[in-house]
Amino acid sequence: MSGSHRFDPNFTDAVINAMGPKTDPRTREVMAALIRHLHDFTREVELTVDEWMAGVKFINLIGQTTTPTRNEAHRMSDVLGLESLVDEIAHKHVNESGEEPTSSSILGPFWSPNAPFRENGGSIVVSPHQGEVALMHGTITDLDTRKPIPGAVIDIWQASSNGKYDFQDPENQEPNNLRGKFRTNEKGEYWFYCLKPTAYSLPTDVTRAGAAGELFKTLDRHPMRPAHIHLMMTAEGYKPVTTQIYPRDDPYVTNDTVFAVKDDLLVDFPPLKGDPKAKLDLTYNVRLAPRDGKTAPMKGIARLLHPFSLTSLFPKMRVPYAPKEASNPEDASIYSRIAARRAPRPLIPLDLALLQSPPVADGWNSFIGAIRTKTTLSPALREIAISRVAVLNKAVHEWNAHGALALKSGVSQEGLQTVLNTPVIGKGDKVREGDAEGLARQDWVVLAYTDQMTRGVEVDDGVMESLKGFLSDREVVELTATVAAYNCPRTLYVPSRRHASTKHPKGFVPPTQADLNELRERVQEFTRREIPEDIAQKTDHDNEFPNAMWKKLGEAGFLGITADEEYGGLAMGYQAHCVVMEEISRASGSIGLSYAAHSQLCVNQLMLNGSPEQKAEFLPGLISGEQIGALAMSEHSAGSDVVSMKMTAKEVDGGYLLNGTKMWITNGPDAHTIVVYAKTDPSAGSKGITAFIVPTSTPGFSCTKKLDKLGMRGSNTGEIVFSDVFVPTSHILGPLNRGVRVLMEGLDLERLVLSAGPLGLMQAALDITLPYTHTRKQFGVPIATNQLVQGKLADMYTKMRASSSFTYSVARAIDESHEDPVIRTQDCAGAILYAAERATECALDAIQLMGGMGYVNEVGAGRLLRDAKLYEIGAGTSEVRRMVIGRVFNREFAER
């Protein structure tokens, strides 16, 4: 058996595994991810030797440019957006009421630990300058109690009016010019004099540009940073905050070259009267979070409307997207200008439609920019209005963006939930009189004004008068323009259709192939990041599901593919579900199987058969990944023969007592919610079985044994026992004694979605076999040049493609007939029958083609075989599937 070398398909794992046993666990985790992504990048772009050497020289240039007063590596991390991303990950927290501390921003390379303490009322302006002096003042308060924090330290530093910091400009500035530290008084107040900051360019000249300058030139990027003041706030017992604040009128706040600007860090410098030391005024208040406070990652927005929705990625437009490249120089400049305004984010779908008329797109984009950065309207009121327009127009993209901005601007999570759920306040409807449900009186007026403008244009006189009671005329105009601006595009979108289908979610529109391709790319991106080969191997080896994966799947949006958006789902169909199932199974068969048991057998069953109350109670937690789902039908003596089940449900006051045992239950050892089938009328045969929703926290429930399986290891499977488990009547799923109908309604769709699992396994077999056979040499040539090897590869590929065509043609037919779904039992059973058997054959071929390497466990070929075999047994054996198809033909001919 020959040893592996660098051309082996496990090369990356070999590099990672070279780390010794004394490596710190966190270092191992970080370095393993770095190596894996670096290798994937190299493969993805097919990096040439010349490009690799250019990269080496570039890294050398970073070191050569660095001096005691210039940290080029730090600057490069800023230019690439890395520091801003790290900052976002590290500091995105809220308190229990949904409020955030003062936003953080990047530290930058110019902070100094040697800044002197100065007295409140003093000035950090020491050297001559050409700028405008401002009086900066504010209070530092506790995020939770809102009480002032005495003795807090605010450390400030900024560039001079020539765009240089003190140690960059020793000829013109004294040490610690425009630097200082101040302590708050007993009221939490601070005040001092500084300069209104000036925008400046990162170095681009030949002698000073260094690595950053070379990168700007290569990527055709501008080097400008918007004007800003650096701040670092610290206080004993509180989490420190490092941030930057920016003049709202600076032209570069929408296109910062280091991507550090956040909307709530924009400030105004109004004129200051009566102070001979300063011409401008700057108020900046700070909120610090207690170090031991109950903070949690900000996640409220994701539970309201999920960010990963095809309606947000690919809204159907009544006009097609414009070409990606402009047809003439004038339009090209407009394309570039809009892209610069959006940077670092890509153009949104509306931009792509409006660019059918570039001047209109340019004006529209400028109009939106003015609303976002030039108005005096309170950010909280502005974001409430925009978020409400998004709700009324079902604009998922805008909701995701502006719901998050509303939270940042001070709107509580309760208030944002109210914006989402409040019925439309029409003309003549009563408006809330006081503070309620997380919104203040003025918020309710803005909500009513937005609703009436959006739904009917005409606004009640009373609402307008209330609005003018707390807004200036200018602010009323700005609010009106904001609501109008975000309402305008809705006529360009194709409205989502509602239909009578009981198999698809509300508002379902069949996806295009481009939609499915984009979804596939996003799932592949997820699996590369979250389910690399070492995770798949560990899951199999340890026979343990990586439980952190559930929330990651939920955050990605994959757990509610076929569920309504109101419960956090994506409102997509079965083609999309097959895509996700295939790609997750391609990364790990066992994770894919558990995923399907959760998303199809549990979530989709609840979606198809649950009452509105049941869906509202169970689906949000299951779709977010906070809860794990399963389905329990099989017993020791009842698999495909459902009616022979022994488990009973005896009616008692208020519900039923469940007694019995279920076997081979995927996710059974981990589940929080299980759909369970039991006999409520044992004498009635198939008409005496009922489906129940059972929380596993109910007394009397237990998982007595986790099974040690041949394959699909880590997809935790167990025997579960019910001993007088009480289930209230409200937890009956579907009609009483009609559980077999509930089961059969979902069974065809279950077979269809599960058939995508073998597709992923076949693709995984090709993923490891094709590179190996083209790099493994015998007699001086790759073994893939051998015709017998070519024959096996061709067979594997053909089986995979034929199986894929079968599965997706069935899924497409169901999706496209969604208004009156056509679900053919023989097609769903045939899809999994064919794919399952072909997957086992492909896995065997992969082992054979890889020879000795295929037979050892360090390569995944053996795991693929063990996983594939399950699909010939579970969810009905191959023999039962053939019987099912044959019986369909029998019925058809009997009816002739």
Check if 300-492 and 753-894 are the same fold: no
* Averaged pLDDT, 304-310: 35
pTM greater than 0.75 (yes/no): no
* Averaged pLDDT, 866-892: 91
Q: Which residues contact 221 (CB under 8 A, 6 or more apart)?
A: 215, 257
Confidence of residue 190 (pLDDT cuts 50, 70, 90): very high
Paired sense of beta strands 673-679 and 629-632, if any: parallel
Specify the higher pLDDT residue, 190 or 461.
190
Long-range contacts of 682-687 (CB under 8 A, 24+ apart): 682/648, 684/737, 685/643, 686/642, 686/643, 686/740, 687/737, 687/738, 687/740
Enzyme catalytic residues: 750
* Averaged pLDDT, 26-35: 84
Quick one: pLDDT at residue 91?
Answer: 56
Using one digit for the tens of pLDDT, what is the confidence trace for 107-155? Answer: 888 888 889 999 999 999 999 888 999 999 999 998 878 899 999 999 9
Give the closest residue to 633 by CA, choosing from 543, 694, 589.
694
Three-state DSSP state, 214: helix
Does residue 343 contact residue 609 with C-beta atoms inside 8 Å?
Answer: no
Q: What is the homologous superfamily of the domain 300-492 according to CATH?
A: AhpD-like (1.20.1290.10)
The answer to whether residue 591 scores a pLDDT higher than 90 is: yes
In CATH, the number for domain 753-894 is 1.20.140.10
Using one digit for the tens of pLDDT, what is the confidence trace for 834-858? Answer: 999 999 999 999 999 999 999 998 8
Residue keyed to tokens 């059974």: 668
Integer distance in angstroms from the first to the last C-alpha of the chain?
Answer: 62
The answer to whether residue 862 scores a pLDDT higher than 60 is: yes
Using one digit for the tens of pLDDT, what is the confidence trace for 805-819? Answer: 999 999 999 988 887
Confidence of residue 397 (pLDDT cuts 50, 70, 90): low
Q: Which CATH number fits domain 78-297: 3.40.50.150, 2.60.40.1730, 1.10.600.10, 2.60.130.10?
A: 2.60.130.10
Using one digit for the tens of pLDDT, what is the confidence trace for 763-795? Answer: 999 999 999 999 888 999 999 999 999 999 999
What are the structural domain ranges in the chain? 1-45, 78-297, 300-492, 513-527+540-745, 753-894
Confidence of residue 730 (pLDDT cuts 50, 70, 90): very high
Using one digit for the tens of pLDDT, what is the confidence trace for 310-354? Answer: 333 344 556 777 776 788 888 888 888 887 776 545 566 677 778
Q: What is the DSSP string of 555-575?
A: HHTGGGTTS-GGGT-----HH
Three-state DSSP state, 538: helix
Q: Which CATH number fits domain 513-527+540-745: 2.40.50.140, 2.40.110.10, 3.30.70.260, 3.30.2420.10?
A: 2.40.110.10
How much is the mean pLDDT over the chain? 85
pLDDT cut 70: percent of the chain above it: 90
**343, burial (CB in 10 Å: exposed 0-12, middle 13-18, buried 19+):** middle
Using one digit for the tens of pLDDT, what is the confidence trace for 398-441? Answer: 776 788 788 878 888 888 888 887 888 877 787 877 777 888 88
* Averaged pLDDT, 185-195: 96
Specify the higher pLDDT residue, 365 or 397.
365
Confidence of residue 499 (pLDDT cuts 50, 70, 90): very low
* Averaged pLDDT, 16-31: 82
Using one digit for the tens of pLDDT, what is the confidence trace for 234-274? Answer: 999 888 899 999 999 898 888 888 888 887 789 999 999 99
Using one digit for the tens of pLDDT, what is the confidence trace for 431-472? Answer: 877 777 888 888 999 998 998 888 776 788 888 888 898 999
Using one digit for the tens of pLDDT, what is the confidence trace for 45-65? Answer: 788 888 888 888 888 887 887
